[in-house]
Structure 1
Amino acid sequence: MIFVIFTFNAGFNNYMTFVVRETRVQQVTFAAISDKH
Structure 2
Amino acid sequence: MLVNGTVVKQHHKIIQHFGHFPHRNAVLARESTKRN
Shorter-chain TM band: 0.3 to 0.5
TM-score, length-scaled by structure 2: 0.42
Structure with larger Rg: 1
Question: Which structure would you say has the larger RCO, counting Cα contacts within 8 Å and 6 or more residues apart?
Answer: 2
TM-score, length-scaled by structure 1: 0.41
